[in-house]
Amino acid sequence: MSAIRLSEKVYWVGAVDAGVRDFHGYKTPYGTTYNSYLILDEKITLIDFVKEGFTSEHIRNIEEIVPLERLDVLVANHIEPDHSGSLPAVAARAKNAVLLASPNGKKGLEAYYGLTCPIRTVKSGESYATGAYTLMFTHIPMVHWPDSMVTYLAEEGLLFSNDAFGQHIASDKRFVDELGIPFVMDRAKDYYANIVLPFGAQVEKALAALGGLKLSMIAPSHGQIWRSDIPGILEKYARWSGNATDPDLAVIIYDTMWGSTAMMADALRAELEAQGKTVRTYSLKSSHISEVMAGLLEAKHICVGSPTLNRGMMPNVAAFLTYMKGLAPKNRVGMAFGSYGWSGESVSQVESVLRECGFELLPMRRQLYRSQTT
């Protein structure tokens, strides 16, 4: 994939990872990109880097426009290896460039890579002139790591937002509207549910800090660039960060041994639908936990079922609950259910995790095989 011109002086020079299917536990059926951007001003600036393994593609794309030795400014918005892997190779050749990062970014880059080149730290709100253009930095800690920041190119209204507003999509198209807003918005939702959800309070602070900016493009570090639906993605982030839920949306997530817990899930679905709710049911035998997270992002009611296996819950259910608890959805109503043949510990164990998640609880439902309810 070659460099792509985004505006008169700005180019995309990142890398496309069409083959990745597991992003630290999150399934990525559409692959991803590691976006990096080049700004041709008096001082030539490179924004962000790519995952190790894609360094050659990154350097090839930069050098379609300019030799690495001519880079004057390197901006590391985020140190996670998907956005910093090519940095040591680029910095080794861009010997005259100043490397800019947040204070936590500096610490992390030195720890990860043992970089010996000087790193200049930038404060939140600080500006840096590159000639006709001005870069402005805003720290957005925990969106997604403590070091994270965004860079705003004031003269173009272009926000290099790093992980924020990203989506895991591999494509030779660069803009959201070229792939269709509904498809990209769904991928942005997957991404939010599996990556950003625990940091709602920090997202709200970031949205407030960026609120006054004129935005003509939001260029994240994964996936497509927003230009025609900026209000739409900002509205979604405001909604998701506030854990806004649909009171009429319920999800049922379960595993089953011999079908009894599946029968309970079916009965529960019918009951909820009779109450007028929309119900999404996920069997953990066939649905990956990251798909389930996207499905429950806006659901008020979360029902989790497991039979008892060896005095505990099914391993698939335990894995899902661990994952969901870490992603910390809030303001939910939970219910545990499950069938058992002997002792039935699983249901109270599921309920215990739902309580730890801070959910309001409805009475648990336990059923001996297919007939008796306790």
Nearer to ligand FEO by Cβ, of 222 and 236: the residue is: 222
Set 191, 237, 254, 282: catalytic member: 191
Q: DSSP class of residue 218? A: E
Of the candidate residues 84, 202, 221, 245, the single one contacting ligand FEO (CB under 6 A): 221
Q: DSSP class of residue 192? A: I
163 catalytically annotated: yes
Nearer to ligand FEO by Cβ, of 128 and 145: the residue is: 145
Q: Using CB under 6 A, which residues numbered 156 to 185 contact ligand FEO?
A: 163
Q: How far apart are CA 91 and CA 159, in angstroms?
A: 23
Length of the chain: 374
Q: How far apart are CA 146 and CA 141, in angstroms?
A: 4
What are phi and psi for residue 325, nearest 5 degrees? -60, -40
Nearer to ligand FEO by Cβ, of 168 and 174: the residue is: 168
Nearer to ligand FEO by Cβ, of 26 and 133: the residue is: 26
Of the candidate residues 80, 190, 255, 351, the single one contacting ligand FEO (CB under 6 A): 80
Set 78, 83, 139, 168: catalytic member: 78
**Does residue number 58 form part of the binding site for ligand FEO (CB under 6 A)?**
no
**Which residue from 158, 152, 195 is spatially nearest to 32, judged by alpha carbons?**
195
Set 80, 255, 345, 351: catalytic member: 80
Set 41, 222, 254, 301: catalytic member: 222
Q: How far apart are CA 169 and CA 140, in angstroms?
A: 23
Of the candidate residues 106, 139, 144, 174, the single one contacting ligand FEO (CB under 6 A): 144
41 catalytically annotated: no
Q: Which stretch binds ligand FEO (CB under 6 A): 1-9, 74-82, 261-269, 290-298?
A: 74-82
Q: Using CB under 6 A, which residues numbered 222 to 251 contact ligand FEO?
A: 222
What mask of x and - would describe binding to ligand FEO in positions 258 to 277, judged by CB under 6 A? --------------------
Q: Using CB under 6 A, which residues numbered 192 to 211 contact ligand FEO?
A: none
CA dihedral 351, 353, 356, 360 (to 10 degrees): -40
Set 57, 163, 190, 345: catalytic member: 163
Which residues on neighbouring strands pair with residue 333, listed in sequence order? 301, 360
Q: How far apart are CA 303 and CA 242, in angstroms?
A: 21
Q: How far apart are CA 363 and CA 157, in angstroms?
A: 52
**Does residue number 82 form part of the binding site for ligand FEO (CB under 6 A)?**
yes
Q: DSSP class of residue 309? A: E
Q: How far apart are CA 209 and CA 138, in angstroms?
A: 8
Q: Nearest distance from residue 163's CB to ligand FEO, in Å?
A: 5
222 catalytically annotated: yes
**Does residue number 78 form part of the binding site for ligand FEO (CB under 6 A)?**
yes
Q: Nearest distance from residue 247's CB to ligand FEO, in Å?
A: 32
Which residues on neighbouring strands pair with residue 296, listed in sequence order? none
190 catalytically annotated: no
In Å, what is the CA distance from 84 to each residue of 25, 30, 162?
Answer: 20, 22, 12
24 catalytically annotated: yes
Helices 181-191/230-241 angle, 10° precision: 30
Q: Nearest distance from residue 169's CB to ligand FEO, in Å?
A: 13
The H or E element that residue 81 is part of is helix 81-84
The CA-to-CA distance between both ends of the chain, in Å, stands at 60
**Residues that are catalytic:** 24, 78, 80, 82, 144, 163, 191, 222
The residues binding ligand FEO (CB under 6 A) are: 78, 80, 82-83, 144-145, 163, 221-222
